[in-house]
Amino acid sequence: MAGSNGYYNYRHQSDICHAFQILTDPKKGNFPVENIIVFMYDDIATDPSNPVQGNLINHPSGANVYPGVTKDYTGAAVTPENFLAVIQGNSSGVTGGSGRVLKSTAQDNVFIYFSDHGATGLVAFPSTYLYATDLIKAFNYMHDHKMYKEMVVYIEACESGSMFANILPNNINIYATSASTPDQSSYACYYDSTRQTYLGDEYSVRWMEDADVHDSATSTWTLNDQFKVVFNQTIMSQPQQYGVLSIASEPIEHFEGYKEGAFVGNPKKRRVGDYTPCGTSTDSRDIKLHYLMNRRDRAINAIDQARWQVEVEEELKMRAQADYSIDQILTIIMGPKKNLMKSTHPKQINFDCLKPAVRDVEVHCGKFNDYSLKWIYTIANMCEAGISPVQIAKVASDVCSSL
């Protein structure tokens, strides 16, 4: 599941395509294609900005990971509603796309990999959000309806730990890892000067590159072994583990391989320190700005440079306005406690308040984007302080109507 669109977000779809290649490679995952359901907007490979049309890579010297990927849900079909319907096996609940849903049973293991932007208590889709409570509700449904034996979930997103911390039950046979803690950004990896964008995300490329080079002919390489590699090689954030940690002692082939004996025939063994550094790792919140500035600086003529400069200025204006709006909302509502709201992330999240508050702030102040999602935690903090969503909406209306 890749939850973004736009060429500057290249990395999320290349992550997903790389994962697909691993899972279907006869010498690695060896899954039948019909066992895999893919969500991706599918606007990157043929985007006019892509200098290598029909090509996506996830590593500076990597192969094209786009060919052969079966894209079940693309464009407007990439929604939280479709995603939740798919994982719950609800074919009547999907709109658009292939209509394929999960048909797993109590004898099956399920592996979910998600790559996109996120914030406190949510991950983003192209036009809306999936909140942690809705995801966990779906997991509980899957467990109660015996849709899996065990499930493993990897999430690449800023503050992705907040999708599991203090909310994922420890008794429904799910093991989850996240790219970051509940209060950290995740980071892009591998800037490519030809494509002028980042090719992957740090946490994501680490688990996939481990799968790519791993020798598990003896079936001893476990999920926890993989996590240790990911943790040690993810420099800019701290990947986390949640749920039933004993599942991590199982071989990776139980989830990233179709049957016993997956990941054989690859003779290369991973060595400590044997990986490609990211080079310049960039906070996911800042990718669009960096992308626009790089396009401006590499423009081949004055007209193109001026056009990109306009987009840089619009992005900077948007960021300044988002910062100002949140600061003013906090000032009016919290007064001298404003700085406390900005200095800490909530330990618990009141989703009954957060959901309508986010919705109403967007109504009055505009949709949160890759950058301004970082301020969601301040709304969660206000909710935890007892501020009602109605009050937050009223102040947001007053503040943003004057902008």
* Per annotation, catalytic residue among 17, 158, 353, 383: 158
* 109 belongs to a structural domain: yes
Q: Which two tokens stand for residue 184?
A: 């950290």
Q: What is the CATH number of the domain that holds 321?
A: 1.10.132.130
The verdict on residue 70 lying in a domain is yes
Residues 75-85, buried b or exposed e (16+ Cβ, 10 A)?
eebbbbbbbbb
DSSP letters spanning 63-93: PP--TT---SB-GGG--HHHHHHHHTT-GGG
**Residue 294 domain-assigned?**
no
Residues 78 and 130 in one domain: yes
Rounded Cα distance between 345 and 324, Å, is 19
- DSSP helix, strand, coil percent of the chain (3-state; round to 5): 45, 10, 45
Residue among 86, 167, 158 nearest 348 (CA): 167
What is the domain range of residue 397? 314-401
- List the chain pLDDT tens, one digit each, 403 residues: 999 999 999 999 999 999 999 999 988 889 999 999 999 999 999 999 999 999 999 999 999 999 999 999 999 999 999 999 999 999 999 999 999 999 999 999 999 999 999 999 999 999 999 999 999 999 999 999 999 999 999 999 999 999 999 999 999 999 999 999 999 999 999 999 999 999 999 999 999 999 887 654 446 789 999 999 999 999 999 999 999 999 999 999 899 987 766 665 444 455 445 688 998 889 999 999 999 999 999 999 999 999 999 999 999 999 999 999 999 999 999 999 999 999 999 999 999 999 999 999 999 999 999 999 999 999 999 999 999 999 999 999 999 998 8
Query: Domain boundary at 285, 305, 340, which?
Result: 285
Measured distance CA(304)–CA(164) in Å, rounded = 44
Last residue of a domain, one of 247, 265, 285: 285
Parallel, antiparallel, or unpaired for β 282-283 and 187-192?
Answer: antiparallel
Q: What is the CATH number of the domain that holds 85?
A: 3.40.50.1460
Q: Are residues 101 and 218 in the same domain?
A: yes
Residues 224 and 265 in one domain: yes
Catalytic residue among 12, 18, 59, 117: 117
Tell whether 170 and 262 lie within a shared domain: yes
Measured CA to CA, the distance from residue 203 to residue 12 in angstroms comes to: 12
The end-to-end CA distance of the chain, in Å, is 36
Domain match, 65 and 149 both? yes
Six-digit token string for 157? 């997103």
Q: Determine, yes or no, domain membership for 299.
A: no
In-domain check, residue 333: yes
Q: What is the CA radius of gyration of the chain?
A: 21
357 and 218 share one domain: no
Question: Is 214 designated active site?
Answer: no
Are residues 89 and 197 both part of a single domain?
A: yes
Is 142 in contact with 397 (CB distance < 8 Å)?
no
Q: Is 138 exposed, middle or buried (0-12, 13-18, 19+ CB in 10 A)?
A: buried
Q: What distance in Å separates the CA atoms of residue 103 and residue 147, rounded to the nearest whole number?
A: 8
Residue 307 lies in a domain: no
Known catalytic residue at 158:
yes
- Specify the number of domains making up the chain: 2
Burial of 402 (0-12, 13-18, 19+ CB in 10 A): exposed
Asked if residue 81 is part of any domain, the answer here is yes
Q: Is residue 51 part of a domain?
A: yes
Domain boundary among 285, 306, 336: 285
Residue 320 and residue 279 in one domain: no
Strand order in the sheet with 109-115: 109-115, 150-156, 174-178, 240-243
pTM of the model: 0.96
